[in-house]
Each structure stands twice: as C-alpha cells, then as structure tokens.
Amino acid sequence: MSALQRPQPRPGVLEIEAYVPGKSAAPGVARVFKLSSNETPLGPSPKAIAAYRAVAEHLQDYPDGASTALREAIGRAFGLDPGRLVCGAGSDELLNLLAHAYLGPGDEAILTRHAFLVYRIATLGSGARPIEVPETQYTADVDTILAAVTERTRLVFLANPNNPTGTYVPFDEVRRLHAALPPRVLLVLDAAYAEYVRRNDYEAGIELVATSDNVVMCRTFSKIYGLAALRLGWLYGPAHVVDALNRIRGPFNVNSAAMAAGIAAIEDSAHVETSRAHNDHWLAWLTAEIGKTGLEVTPSVANFVLIHFPDTKGRTAQDADCFLTARGLILRAVGAYKLPGALRMTVGSAEANRLTVEALTEFMGRGA
C-alpha cells in the first residue's frame, strides 16, 4: 500500500511535535534530583497517600463517572458550585477537551510565544490553526493578543502564571483582555500554578468565570498537591461550557484513586500551606543566588525559575545541562518553548536547591 492510500490523520496532526516530558534520569549518576517537571519536593499530603491506598480494596468497581464527591470537595474548598466544575485526567485532558469542543478546521486559537506547549498540540489536533503572538519580557501582552483576534478566533489560551517563563499577567489586564474579546471567543485561563502566587494584583479567575459566559479556568492537582502521577485536574466554567465538555469527555475519565487522593489533598490545607511556605522561601533564595553567579533569572511567581545562559562557548544552556546532569541535577531544556538559551529549574528540596546553586557557581566560574 502506498503512503497515500493508507489511513491519513486529519490535517494538522502531523504538524504536531510530540510533547517531550522533562528528563528523569542521569546515566551513571547514583543520586538524581529531578528538577525538570515542576513537581513538588514535599510530595502529597500523607492523607492523600492513605486515601489512594484504600482504593486498592475496590479496583473491580468503575469510578463515579461524574466525579461527584471530588467536585463537591473542590466546591467546598473554593466556594464554587459543583455543577459548574468538570474534572479531568490532568488539566491536559481538560485543555484538549476544550479544543475538541470549540475548535475545528478553519478556526484559530491564540497563544503566546513561550506558552505551555499543550495549547499548540490541542489546537492542531483539533484541525484548527494556532496563532502565536509575541510576548513582552517573557510575559503575555494583552494588546498583542487582541491585535491577533480575527473572525476565525474561537479560543484564547492564557497560562497565568505561564510555564516555562514563570511570569504572570496582573488581573486588571486579564479583565481588560476579556472585556475586549468578542463574546463568541472563549478565554481559557490556565492557572496550574495559582496556589504558589503571592501577588496582590493576581487572581486565578474565579470571579471572572462566575460573571461571564465566555471564560473558563483550569486547575491541577499535579503541582502544589503533589499528585502528578494520578493525573487529576479540574475546570470551572459557565454551565453551557460544562455541558459541552461533559458530552465529549470519556464517561469514566477520572479514576477512583485520583478522586480519593484528590479529595484528601484538597482538604489538607495545612500541607498545602507548608508547601507554599517552602516555595516562597526557596523561590526567592534561588532567584537571588543564581543571580549572583552572573546568570539572568526571569522573575517567577510559580514553583520554578527560568535561567538564561550566555551564547559563549562552554557556558551555553546546553553546556550547563550536560554539566548539571553529570552531577545528578536534572533541569528542563526549553528549546521546544523557543528558549534554546535557557533552562527551567523547579524549586526543589533544600538540598537540591543548594547543590544546584553550587554547581551553577562552579559552572560559571570555571575557564570557558
């Protein structure tokens, strides 16, 4: 059979560069610190682990397809109507569901230059065109987003804060963006790192969702709640969007273990607070200490920092990646995010953070 005769994916699919997750191994190194996927160094709440284990007694049963108890727990924690929540296998699934429900061939979705990669993948996978707009100082810019809106625009993706830059858009600006968008355009606020942000002018978007017909907010249990392995995320949206997503999602898209652990995690606010305090301390420390090595760090409000390396031979991001990996310190190369001169480092344990700063100091101090 010739290549043309065999089954063909829809246009756009083969334009996708498959997502490459952060590295997790350093060949030949006994002790590895994985700082490449923005996972929490404190792990999940012990109560979430216990709840997860308890599900082992009931593996023969299908999960509750409506994630009722989990939506109620999220509703209690955030003061939201559970009827306006959709849970998913990670927020990745929810982002893909949004694209599949609202985009098709001929449509456009706007995303910013260094935005989270899943937006592009989900858009192309739906047969629509991703429209990339420039950022200002590694930060999404409302005016450039608005300038890109056309008759074909159906979605605007905004990661706030963004990964991998760690920057955020103040909420007044998000409101200005929303106010200027045509009502048929759905604004997707991806607030995967919202729990870490300590800024008075930041909001994840709850009120904006509550008061409009064309805004949704996605959240995840993979970061501060420490449940990345279980794949769990949630979305808060207008009733008509929730209805559309519920029609296309898999009938049992969230598994029972994820639901049980998620409920316990969200109820353990003390653990979340400890994780937040750890991040507050070490984010500031890393930004200052890495800065002292002569490297530039983009100011971050999340649980990671973007470190920029010079072009000089021997001191590039690629050289640093090899140097650090050989010491068991695994950071994230971000060439796929159009940042070939940078590495992203997740805020790790005290030990991992200190070792990384020591290694970067050595890297920058050695003869090039």
**For ligand PLP, the closer CB: 44 or 359:** 44
Residues 162-191 that bind ligand PLP (CB under 6 A): 163, 190
Pairing of strands 108-112, 153-159: parallel
Asked whether position 116 contacts ligand PLP by CB under 6 A, the answer is yes
Q: Which residue is nearest to ligand PLP (CB)?
A: 90
Tokens 């397809």 correspond to what residue?
A: 65
| Residue 4 Cβ vs ligand PLP, minimum distance, rounded to whole Å | 36
Stretches 43-51, 75-83, 90-98, 273-281: which one binds ligand PLP (CB under 6 A)? Answer: 90-98
> Which residue in 149, 192, 242, 265 binds ligand PLP (CB under 6 A)?
192
Q: Give every strand in the sheet of 129-133, ordered side by side.
A: 85-88, 233-236, 215-220, 186-190, 153-159, 108-112, 129-133
Asked whether position 67 contacts ligand PLP by CB under 6 A, the answer is no
> Which residue in 80, 85, 87, 92 binds ligand PLP (CB under 6 A)?
92
Q: What is residue 30's DSSP assignment?
A: S
**For ligand PLP, the closer CB: 92 or 173:** 92
Residues 219-258 that bind ligand PLP (CB under 6 A): 220, 222, 228, 233
| Residue 363 Cβ vs ligand PLP, minimum distance, rounded to whole Å | 26
> Which residue in 12, 41, 44, 90 binds ligand PLP (CB under 6 A)?
90
**For ligand PLP, the closer CB: 96 or 325:** 96
**For ligand PLP, the closer CB: 220 or 327:** 220
Stretches 84-92, 234-242, 314-322, 329-337: which one binds ligand PLP (CB under 6 A)? Answer: 84-92
**For ligand PLP, the closer CB: 209 or 355:** 209
| Residue 218 Cβ vs ligand PLP, minimum distance, rounded to whole Å | 7
Instruction: Return all residues near 286 (Cβ < 8 A) that are at least 6 apart.
Output: 297, 305, 345, 347, 353, 356, 357
Structure tokens at 156: 């605007």
Q: x/- contact string, 133-162, with ligand PLP (CB under 6 A)? A: --------------------------x---
Contact 333, 303 (CB under 8 A): no
| Residue 222 Cβ vs ligand PLP, minimum distance, rounded to whole Å | 3
The size of the interface with ligand PLP (CB under 6 A), counted in residues, is: 13
| Residue 302 Cβ vs ligand PLP, minimum distance, rounded to whole Å | 8
Rg (CA), the chain: 21
Tokens 């306006």 correspond to what residue?
A: 84
**For ligand PLP, the closer CB: 115 or 297:** 115
| Residue 57 Cβ vs ligand PLP, minimum distance, rounded to whole Å | 26
Write out 101-119 in H/E/C secondary structure.
HHCCCCCEEEEECCCCCHH
Q: How far apart are CA 85 and CA 75, in angstroms?
A: 8
Residues 3-42 that bind ligand PLP (CB under 6 A): 38
Instruction: Return all residues near 362 (Cβ < 8 A) that are at least 6 apart.
Output: none
Amino acid, res. 278: H
Can you spell out the DSSP letters for 265-321? HHH-HHHHHHHHHHHHHHHHHHHHHHHHTT-EEE--SSSEEEEE--SSTTSSHHHHH
Q: How far apart are CA 40 and CA 23, in angstroms?
A: 16
Instruction: Return all residues near 125 (Cβ < 8 A) that are at least 6 apart.
Output: 12, 13, 16, 96, 99, 100
| Residue 92 Cβ vs ligand PLP, minimum distance, rounded to whole Å | 3
- Contact positions toward ligand PLP, by CB under 6 A? 38, 90-92, 116, 159, 163, 190, 192, 220, 222, 228, 233
